[in-house]
DNA sequence: ATGAAAGCGCTAACAA
DNA sequence: TTGTTAGCGCTTTCAT
């Protein structure tokens, strides 16, 4: 006895009735499962088209796949993110998955709330970009849903995957370029961070910086300065850095987030770049390439990073359980700032 | 006969069993519905806490609210968006709603796919920021879910709400400021756009620009130039603009998207700003405030815009059906670029 | 005030 | 190959 929906909504039942088949048949067509004749499939597809039917993700979430994945961002104002998210979206889209985004505001409890919220919607996978939470806490979520992490090195993690630029290599690359240009007193700008520095991208870059100095016999000259990420205080800290009597000959800067304002302030202070001060930064964002900026910067190929994470998620969804920790080679984009 | 869940998942049943009450009771507590004694409520809340229970959004979506709303962005690289989305998120968060974001990539079919996908997840409301689709097409979705639009003027729409800066006033404000400074030959930079211009924010600003000129008896001197938004070609177009023999005394620029590169290129070309060329732009993004930029720009108070849209959605969810079209007053942020 | 039970729109055994 | 049906975890009448 067919119990037709009383609402106007087109459901799988409406389609089944219209096509004169069972709901199971429609479901099978939807998921291209085995055991459907071309004839039946054709009828169903026509009804779907005719009725404008779209399966309810909510209902799907109660049994199987939702064919949607989530991305968690720390904030929206990092210019490094758009190409990364695009690369990810594109790769997931080709596999038939929708991408939804949540913004964690760099606050741990907002971040966990968002992760849980996405899990509660039964998304099929989750990409975390530069998450505050990590390690132990992530494993807890990782057995509820496949997880990939970008922007945090955790090569020992077993429950989830990571995709990162080889930040160590990037730091080494940039520092070596400065050394090759003749600079000897090279300092590094890092991020002030109250979290454990182990695994942080800037810390990996710092290790690369120190390695390059050591290789050139300049180990003793290594100096790191820590600058805040908060826009309000950043400028003051950079200015007081530039006012130091022991200003180095060159800076390797962990990110364009600091690098672009730094080159701006230095020039405005009357310093010639690269005459008085050499500068290489990291991320190669659009701002670094601007006419009046022209800041050399290490490129992370963010699109590839995103696509790599997408592949990790897709293969996890298909059943892989052995962890993957992919490292992508960075490239120095040379500009006349050093 | 209690049929306990076989999976390890904590469901409403697990909680009911633990608290020794019915699932209906738990559901009522969850939604603070009427008819629950403080005693029962207390027991249930304790069990929820103890078991770490979180209701499944997917299951909720099949009957009532999901307590999540969606935001559709055209792209992620507009620096105007982060504070807007933050204002929205914050207001929705206070009302107990989660915010999920989709990125439309400025392609119509991606946009519609995303809107439908969010509706299929049974989100309770949808905010569209600068959507490509509009009017008729939106009404179709508006009777499936409450919709608010930012960044597109559609004061006649009845099915959904809009929240916008008073762009006409903003254009008038900026142009009048240039006139007051003594400029007479003032041109405007608009966006190249193959859509209908009616309703577009830049077009409203252009109307304000022309109104201000007319009010000052300068109607005849009005000139608009149209520049692409695509980063690849934008610079070339701006350069050829600056190379014109009939360069105006000042520009009013529809957005910092063009304004910031323009001031950069003009300075690099050797022009003194404001000596040789006066400049006022729109959006007051972070870049406009940078030391080496200092571009006067009309502020849109994006946070308020977001909060306004949130209020529209929340009241629609509560049952309002009469449309709201809110206009927010802009403010000119004066900087030495004119 | 509390609980039993009927769905919501799907998926996936299992039967036919 | 096709159809029947038992849930998935919740909300919401309707009894009690």
Averaged pLDDT, A246-265: 95
> Nearest CA to A51 among A22, A24, A21, A12?
A12
Task: Select from B179, B201, B185, B296 the least CA-distant residue to B249.
Answer: B185
- Spatial neighbors of B214 by CB under 8 A, at least 6 apart, are none
pLDDT computed for residue B9 by the predictor:
82
Q: How far apart are CA B316 and CA A155, in angstroms?
A: 48
Q: Which nucleotides of D are covered by protein (CB under 7 A)?
A: 1-5, 7-13
Helix (H, G, I), strand (E, B) or coil at B324: coil
Q: What is the mean pLDDT of residues A101-122?
A: 90
DSSP sequence for B73-124: ES-S--TTHHHHHHHHHHHHHHTT-EEEEEE-TT-HHHHHHHHHHHHHTT-S
Residue A74, min C-alpha distance to chain B (Å): 12
* Contact between chains at B62 and A58 (C-beta distance less than 8 A): yes
- Give strand pairing partners of B164: B327
Report the share of chain A in percent with pLDDT over 70: 98
Quick: pLDDT tens for B119-152: 999 999 999 999 988 888 899 999 899 999 999 9
By the 8 A CB rule, do A228 and A237 touch? yes
Query: Distance between CA A5 and CA A15 in Å, rounded?
Result: 11
* Domain spans of chain A, in order of start: 12-55, 64-164+302-326, 167-300
- Chain A CB contacts of B283 below 8 Å: none
Quick check: B278 and B178 in contact, CB under 8 A? Answer: yes
Please check whether residue B148 is in contact with residue B125, taking contact to mean a CB–CB distance below 8 angstroms: yes
Asked if residue B175 lies in contact with residue B187, where contact means CB atoms within 8 angstroms, the answer is no
pLDDT of residue A77: 83
> Residue B2: what pLDDT?
39
Rounded to an integer, what distance in angstroms lies between the CA atom of residue A135 and that of residue B36? 41
Q: What is the pLDDT of residue B1?
A: 34
pLDDT recorded at residue B136? 86
D5 C1' – A25 CA distance, angstroms? 14
Q: Which of B174, B111, B181, B119 is nearest to B145 (CA)?
A: B119
Nearby residues of A39 by Cβ (< 8 Å), 6 or more positions away: none
- Check residue B79 and give its pLDDT: 87
Q: How many CA atoms lie within 13 A of B28 on its CB side?
A: 15
Ramachandran class of B181: left when φ > 0, alpha when ψ lies in -120 to 50, beta otherwise: alpha
For residue B7, say whether its CB is under 7 Å from any atom of strand D: yes
Class of domain B64-164+302-326: alpha beta
Cβ atoms within 10 Å, residue A240: 9
Whether the CB of B30 is less than 7 Å away from nucleic strand D comes out as yes
- Tell me: pLDDT of A5 over 60: no
Topology, domain B12-55: 434 Repressor (Amino-terminal Domain) (1.10.260)
| Residue nearest C8, CA–C1′ metric | B62
Q: Does A5 contact chain B (CB < 8 Å)?
A: no
pLDDT above 60 (res B6)? no
Q: Å between A67 CA and C14 C1'?
A: 26
Q: Does A323 touch chain B (CB under 8 A)?
A: no
- DSSP assigned state of A104: -
State the smallest CA–CA distance between residue B210 and chain A in angstroms: 32
Alpha helices in B181-255 (DSSP H): 201-215, 231-242
Site from B62, B103, B289 to mutate, A interface, most A CB atoms within 10 angstroms: B103
**Contact assignment for A102 to B103 by CB distance below 8 Å:** no
Residue A322: exposure state from Cβ atoms within 10 A (0-12, 13-18, ≥19) = exposed
Is B12-55's fold the same as B64-164+302-326's? no
Sequential DSSP letters for B279-313: EEEEE--HHHHSTTT--EEEE--HHHHHHHHHHHH
| Higher-scoring residue by pLDDT: B279, A133 | B279
Cis bond upstream, residue A274 (ω within 30): yes
Contacts of B67 (CB under 8 A, 6+ apart): B57, B60, B96, B97, B98, B124
Instruction: With CA atoms as reference, report the closest residue to B258 among B212, B290, B299, B225.
Output: B225
Answer whether B333's CB lies under 8 Å from B169's CB: no
Residues 6+ apart with CB under 8 A from A82: B75, B76, B77
Q: Is the CB of A25 under 7 A from strand D?
A: yes
Residue pair B214/B175 in contact by the 8 Å Cβ criterion: no
CB pairs under 8 A between A and B: 132
- Lowest mean pLDDT of A166-175, B35-44, B164-173, name the range: B35-44
Mean local confidence (pLDDT), B6-32: 88
Is residue B323 within 8 A of residue A298, CB to CB? The reply is: no
Three-class SS of A273-335? CCCCCEEEEEECCHHHHCCCCCCEEEECCHHHHHHHHHHHHHHHHCCCCCCCEEEECCEEECC
Nearest to B71 by CA among B110, B100, B98: B100
Distance CA A300, CA A282 (A): 8
Q: What backbone phi and psi angles, to 5 degrees, belong to A82?
A: -50, -50
Half-sphere exposure in the Cβ direction for B260 (13 Å, CA)? 23
> In this structure, how many other beta carbons lie within 10 angstroms of the beta carbon of residue A318?
9
Are B260 and B295 in contact by the 8 Å Cβ rule? The answer is yes
pLDDT band at A75 (very low <50, low <70, confident <90, very high): confident
Best CA proximity match to B234, nearest among B252, B216, B215, B260: B260
Do residues B281 and B298 lie in contact, with contact meaning Cβ atoms separated by under 8 Å? yes
Could you read off the pLDDT of B279-318 as tens digits, one per residue?
A: 999 999 988 998 778 999 999 999 999 999 999 999 999 8
Return d(Cα A44, Cα A52) in angstroms, integer.
12
Each residue of B22-63: pLDDT tens digit? 999 999 999 888 888 999 999 999 999 999 999 999 999 998
What average pLDDT does this structure show over B243-262? 96
B303 touches chain A (CB under 8 A): no
Whether residue A132 contacts residue A300, with contact meaning beta carbons closer than 8 Å, is answered with: no
Q: Does B117 touch chain A (CB under 8 A)?
A: yes
pLDDT of residue A93: 93
The yes-or-no verdict on residue A88 having pLDDT over 50 is yes
Residue A71 phi, psi dihedral angles, 5° rounding: -125, 130
Average pLDDT, chain B: 92
- pLDDT in the model for residue A116: 92
Pick out the nucleotide with least CA–C1' distance to B16.
C3
- Per CB-CB distance under 8 Å, the chain A contacts of B141 are none
DSSP B54: -
**Residue in A124, A134, A100, A135 with CA at minimum distance from that of residue A114:** A100
Contact B114 A98 (CB under 8 A): yes
- Distance between first and last Cα of chain B: 79
The predicted pLDDT at position B317 comes to: 92
Whether the CB-CB separation of B332 and B174 falls below 8 Å is answered with: yes
pLDDT of A196 above 90: no
More confident residue, A299 or A34: A299
Give the C-alpha separation, B114 to B117, whole Å: 5
How many angstroms is C1' of C7 away from CA of A46? 28
Select the residue of A121, A264, A292 nearest B121 (Cβ to Cβ). Answer: A121
* pLDDT of A123 over the 90 cut: yes
Superfamily the domain B167-300 falls into: Response regulator (3.40.50.2300)
pTM: 0.90
- Give the residue ranges of DSSP H helices in A225-280: 231-242, 256-268
Q: Do A179 and A214 form a contact (C-beta atoms < 8 A)? A: no
SS3 call for B19: helix
């Amino acid at each position: 006895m067919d119990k037709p929906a009383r609402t106007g909504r087109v459901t799988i039942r409406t389609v089944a009735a219209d096509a004169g088949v069972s709901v199971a048949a429609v479901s099978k067509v939807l998921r291209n499962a085995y055991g459907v004749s071309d004839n039946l499939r054709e009828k169903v597809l026509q009804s779907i088209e005719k009725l404008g039917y779209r399966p309810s993700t909510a209902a799907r979430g109660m049994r199987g796949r939702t064919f949607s994945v989530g991305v968690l961002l720390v904030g929206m104002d990092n210019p490094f993110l758009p190409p990364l998210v695009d690369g990810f979206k594109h790769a997931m889209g080709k596999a038939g998955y929708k991408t939804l985004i949540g913004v964690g505001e760099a606050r741990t409890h907002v971040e966990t709330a968002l992760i849980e919220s996405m899990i509660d919607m039964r998304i099929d996978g989750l990409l975390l970009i530069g998450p505050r939470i990590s390690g132990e806490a992530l494993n807890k979520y990782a057995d509820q849903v496949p997880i990939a992490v970008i922007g945090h090195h955790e090569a020992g993690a077993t429950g989830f995957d990571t995709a990162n630029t080889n930040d160590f290599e990037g730091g080494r690359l940039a520092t070596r370029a400065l050394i090759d240009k003749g600079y000897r007193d090279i300092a590094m700008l890092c991020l002030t961070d109250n979290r454990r520095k182990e695994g942080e991208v800037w810390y990996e870059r710092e290790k690369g910086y120190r390695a390059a100095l050591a290789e050139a016999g300049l180990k003793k000259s290594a100096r790191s300065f820590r600058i805040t990420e908060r826009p309000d205080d950043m400028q003051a800290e950079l200015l007081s850095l530039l006012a130091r009597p022991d200003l180095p000959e060159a800076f390797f800067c962990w990110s364009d987030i600091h690098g672009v304002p730094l080159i701006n302030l230095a020039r405005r202070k009357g310093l010639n770049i690269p005459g008085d001060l050499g500068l290489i930064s990291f991320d190669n964002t659009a701002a670094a390439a601007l006419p009046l900026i022209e800041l050399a910067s290490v490129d992370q190929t963010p699109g590839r990073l995103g696509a790599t994470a997408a592949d990790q998620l897709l293969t996890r969804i298909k059943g892989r359980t052995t962890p993957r920790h992919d490292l992508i080679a960075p490239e120095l984009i040379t500009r006349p700032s050093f």
